[in-house]
Structure 1
Amino acid sequence: MTGADSGNSGGRGTEGAERTFAALPPARGRGFAQTWWGQAWLKALEDTALESQQLKKGRKQARDGAVGAVSVRPGRITAVVRDSDGTAHRSDVLLQQLGTEEWDRFLDMAVERAGHIAALLDRDMPPHLVEDAAGAGVELLPGIGDLEPECDCDAWDLCPHTAALCYQVARLLDEDPFVLLLMRGRGERQLLDELQVRSARAARTRSPADGTAAGADGGTAEEPAGIRADEAFAARGILPPLPPPPPVPEEPGLPPSLDTEAEPPPGIDADALEFLAADAAGRALRLLIDALSTGHERQPIEQELTPGQDAVRLAASTDDPLIAVRLARGTGRQRAELDLAVGAWRHGGAAALAVLEEEWRPEPGALARAKADLAAAWEDSERPRLRAGAGGRWTVVGADTQLRYGRDGRWWPYRRAGARWAASGPPAADPASALASLRTEV
């Protein structure tokens, strides 16, 4: 009994024990397999072949359109392949069918996960379906040596004609994974009918009270587990490479406007929400740029900001005085204190803010390294007079400038601003460079 899908290699058509696919046009300028399972089929072919030259000839014949209509039935695919001189050869490739017990295990596994059935109906074969089938003892995809060629050209091994047939079948598999299942022994209609029967049977075993399936002991069966990351990673050899990432936007996306005629609900500040949404969009873009930068995977993970630090970060991202006033009030700072904190943040983020606000007494080892840095930074004739203070701070005598030694061993330049000290530049590895950045003669 033969059902033909002539003219539509991916159509459902009339299903029986055999499907026939019309000859495909030449495949010039494109690969034979785009899906990962189509590539797995070709990998089994190429790993099995003893002579790569035969593969090359077969690939060229398939690419030139030398393969005629392909007949697919359980355990066998067949086509007529023509040589360049017009000589026709009947070529077959055999693949072992699954046994009854294997099909039972596969169908039971598929019923347990509705996503597997939905994927097949969408002409998709996700890796976890193949992995779950393998876990049930059912190998869907062929492996090394599973494809057995037969051709009337009397070749004792894979010949160009059977190779061309396999390359053509990879294109059919791309369109419809049910082609593989038919080769393994079951057609689409038969499979779907059996799945429907098993699904109905499984539904009758569910508890009417809560809709959960009853276990063998009358209890509730556990929900099926997800796919383990190490198992997915182990399948990387048959998966296609990931596509390149999309281009990074030049600027953050625009958040939705909350300026509507309707009043916001009580307790909701629309202006604050718009500000936070815009900030989130900007942060998302920066995170994306950082993630795509070279060496990102070797960078340390940033520490989560405290509410006080995040308030300073937010204030540093805007020039709106009303927002600054609200942030100062929300964090218990005076407006002048917040301005100092914002200035420090803009020079070095959380690390600069810590140098400004934290009281830190260097341990003896850190203090010794700081003094060694100071001793080696200048020639004697150029050395400024420094007065040591608490918390790793050295003030230049006779000037409104100061050096602060951070926990990370860097030096931060400071300048007096009224009764307070303000961060005045980025950090430097040595005190002389930090002090020189203040452009003050000492």
Structure 2
Amino acid sequence: MTAPRAPRHDDRRRTFPALPPRPGGGNGAFATTWWGNAWVESMEDSALDPARLQRGRAYASRGLVDAITVTPGRVMAYVHGSRARPYRTEIRLRTIGDTEWEELLDAAADRPDHIAALLDKDMPHALAESADLLPTAGDLTPDCSCPDDGYPCKHAAALCYQTARLLDEDPFVLFLMRGRGEHEVLADLTRRNATRSAAERTTAAPPMPTVEAHTALAPRTLPSLPPPFPAPSQPGRPPAYPEAPGAPDPLALDLLATEAAARAYTFLTTGLDPVAALTPWQDAVRLAAAHPGSGLTASTRALYRDLAAALHRTPTDLARAVAAWRQGGLSGLTVLEDAWDPPAGPFDRARPALAAADFPYFRPWRNRLATPSLQLRFGRDGLWYGYESDRDREDWWPRGTPDTDPVGALTALLGR
């Protein structure tokens, strides 16, 4: 007899349990995140009757909205009102086309800080704006089975307010409203990242010379030992480790074997250990930076999580440090974490050089020059490192290629 098949997971349909009454009642901003409040504002800006909005807000605060089901282009729930039977209430909005999705996913894959923010349940401003993820006034279309013809009625307003609380907890709900589920989005980002990583891999080393077994075992007088083989062009690849109950984590085994091979190769060819002088935090950043897909798949998300937790940091801290390491190695990480006072010289000449190149005014602070969204940091190695942040968020991420010339570093940061 054939065993029953497990129910198929539908990534494009999610039902959330009814939210409890809101602590503190209806005072203050209803949502706690900027994107949750943007969702509320899109409904409030197009509402025709403020009184219905206030009643809907009160309904939501009292927990009168049942479980909410989200599918592409639709949010639905039953809302309790003055009658015993709840009303079926919907909010509809436009889904995003395939071309817009391609542009959105390309933009996310280009920015490690955007991926790190999403995995931390945060929505970057620039990503939300790149494909008009958030609705504006008039984008939301309410519908309700109640006899009230208000736009919106209090039941639709209550559903809208409760939906903002869902968005606070999980911004991927917004992606689902626009047409694609969380697993689908993460799988697409993983594929794009893997494609880029494959293009960066070097070609495999040529096979080592061998001796046939019957020749090696034949009786003979052995000659003098031959000279050692020359060092290979690169470290060998470790074997694959299958998952097994009770066995160590395959990703951890692969990581340890790869690291052992790389360090042995460096000892063999140079006699030096490149890891010995690093602190545990610097070594964790180096390990994570060696894995371009880290933070996307389930196994590599575990790598980020475990490395960060072992050193009492967050995955976002590690993602930012990895971006700095990929920008400039140990020197790049030092620039991220070390603010210092450079002596007179190149740093003082930077602002006149930027002004002569028609770049905007940069405010100095220690070894940094900054605008609200761009920043140049002067390293102890004499290089300028570019940083970028969403305007007025003070959330700086390394971008671009270091340069001895501040104008060159800023040009690389801006992609000119």
Instruction: Tell me which interval the TM-score lies in, with the shorter structure as reference length.
Output: 0.3 to 0.5
TM-score by length of 1: 0.42
Structure with the greater relative contact order (CA < 8 A, sep ≥ 6): 1 or 2? 2
TM-score by length of 2: 0.45
